[in-house]
Amino acid sequence: MKIVVDFVALILLYCFVFYKRWKDKGIDVLFINTVMYIYLSFVLYFTLMPIITALPFMFNHPYDHMNMTPFIDVTLGRGDFYRQVTLNVIMTVPFGILFPLFDRKEKRFLKTVFFTFLLSFTIEILQPLINGFRSSDITDIITNVTGGIIGYVIYMIFKPLANKILNLLKRCGK
């Protein structure tokens, strides 16, 4: 039930802040930005939610520092390491595909890698702060950035198709 509050806030934010702003820029911008917004909402769901109902209790638990030893779970044989790595890579593949479409300026690869890192770093810093049961790990950042790079490669492979679809959306929106 606590997560419903976050999703209602995200829906209201989209409807009253972003929708009109993006719609005024064209149907292609509205489409890409909306897909990115939905994707990031689900990233929040899987990594940080509930957020709003957790805010009053943020400082009621100890903050665990980030594990700075990469891939320590594999060397110590802890948990379901391969599943975690796979899920962390998969989680940011869509970001690597969507970000170059969202930000249509040059130097997309470095910007995509940087913003994938920034997204992952922000999540890892906030996880133990918002929820005392979560921890942060440098391995998650490494695997998230790897997922963003894989997504960017997929974007480059399908870039001509993506451009055709976006151009078609532009023409339909006029």
Query: Looking at the whole model, is its pTM more than 0.85?
Result: yes
Tens of pLDDT, residues 102-158? 877 777 899 999 999 999 999 999 999 887 778 889 999 999 999 999 999 999 999
Residue-range domain boundaries for the chain: 2-173
Q: How far is CA 148 from CA 124, 131, 132, 144, 155, in A?
A: 16, 25, 27, 6, 10
Q: Say how far apart CA 38 and CA 79 lie, in whole Å.
A: 30
At 99, give phi and psi (nearest 5°). -60, -45
Q: How far is CA 58 from CA 54, 123, 131, 168, in A?
A: 6, 15, 7, 46
